[in-house]
Amino acid sequence: MAKLLVYGSLNIDYVYQMPHFVQPGETLLSLSRQEFAGGKGLNQAVALAKAGGNVYFEGAVGKNDGTLLLQVLKDNHIDLTFVKERDNMASGHTVIQVDPHGQNCILLYGGANHSHSKEEIDTCLSTFASGDYLVLQNETNDVAYIMAQAAAKGLKVCVNASPLNQAIFEMPLEKCEFIIVNEIEGSALVEEKEDADPYLILSKLKAKYPQSSFVLTLGSKGSLLSMAQQDAVIACKAYKVQAVDTTAAGDTFLGYFVEQISSNVEPQIALQRATAASAIAVTRKGAVPSIPAIEEVLAFVKEHGSTLVDKL
């Protein structure tokens, strides 16, 4: 069984239910406030573990405020040998507004997520081998470095190019086995408009990074999968569900998809299960607490059927 390493963020999410997103110059009373474990790295690691993966985490929290985050890793049987507790540093955190439609907007504070040294990265990577998987997002420092080092060792690197900022454009994405992006990230990588035809975005991504496979997620429309060196595009419609909070839906999708691929599940079945996992996640509040177990995902697909289609 391949080892699945996540190098990523651990955030405390402060989630505020709002009548609408705060506008410039506006002061708006929130309807409620809740605190959840989150961070793209942690969410994806939990999704990988709940899907059945053998998961390892490299990350960092503040010594004084990281207890909840460490506990989530332990509860999900994720190896935390390479998780550091930093003195005099706060854990990463977010302020998340959720509107009545379940949409969110996120203010992100990096904190300890940006404290990794190259030596720590090298030490961690030295315990992984060719054929193991590395899952990356863009909420930690030196992602480009670990991407290059891991690929050179033969690890299968899967990157979620999110959140989108200049660091993404400086990463050696051509070394990645899987690049998982939404339409905003995908279009930016190929200098297309956000509302361009998703099939055009996908074909331009494939032309730019011919060695990589792609998943292009399209929110409530669904997702497209294109494997490296293959012309076929696999399309999967999203399930229609009542969304209460979309936070971590993309992370849940990614974790399930990568774990299933690493377990040699057929790509279209991996895509279908990832779609179901994220559909369940949006019906629940919070990041980590919204991620379903594999049994729930399999039961959901059985009950609601296939949403694979010829074209979106």
Nearest residue to ligand RIB on Cβ basis: 38
Confirm if 288 and 38 have CB atoms less than 8 A apart. yes
Determine if 245 is a binding residue for ligand RIB (CB under 6 A).
Answer: no
54 annotated as belonging to a binding site for a ligand? no
Min dist. Cβ of residue 67 to ligand RIB (A): 17
Backbone angles phi, psi at 166, to 5 degrees: -55, -35
**Cβ proximity to ligand RIB, 149 vs 247, nearer residue:** 247
Determine if 185 is a binding residue for ligand RIB (CB under 6 A).
Answer: no
Token couple for 6: 């996540």
Confirm if 211 and 192 have CB atoms less than 8 A apart. no
CB atoms inside a 10 Å sphere around CB 62: 22
53 annotated as belonging to a binding site for a ligand? no
Identify whether 142 is a catalytic site residue.
no
295-299, Cβ contacts within 8 angstroms, sequence gap of 24 or more: 297/51, 297/256, 297/273, 298/273
Give CA–CA dist 218/224, Å, rounded.
8
299 annotated as belonging to a binding site for a ligand? no
Determine if 94 is a binding residue for ligand RIB (CB under 6 A).
Answer: yes
3-class DSSP assignment, residue 152: helix
Determine if 13 is a binding residue for ligand RIB (CB under 6 A).
Answer: yes
Determine if 97 is a binding residue for ligand RIB (CB under 6 A).
Answer: no
- From 186, 213, 212, 210, select the one nearest 200 (Cα to Cα): 186
- Selected from 39, 59, 66, 186, the binder of ligand RIB by CB under 6 A is 39
- Selected from 8, 38, 267, 292, the binder of ligand RIB by CB under 6 A is 38
Determine if 11 is a binding residue for ligand RIB (CB under 6 A).
Answer: yes
Where are any strands of DSSP class E within 137-226? 156-160, 178-182, 213-217, 222-226
Bridge partners of residue 58, in order along the sequence: 7, 82
Binding site for K(+), residues? 245, 247, 281, 284, 286, 290
Binding site for substrate, residues? 11-13, 39-43, 139, 251
Chain positions contacting ligand RIB, by CB under 6 A: 9, 11, 13, 38-40, 43, 94, 106, 108, 139, 247-248, 250-251, 287
Binding site for ATP, residues? 182, 217-222, 250-251
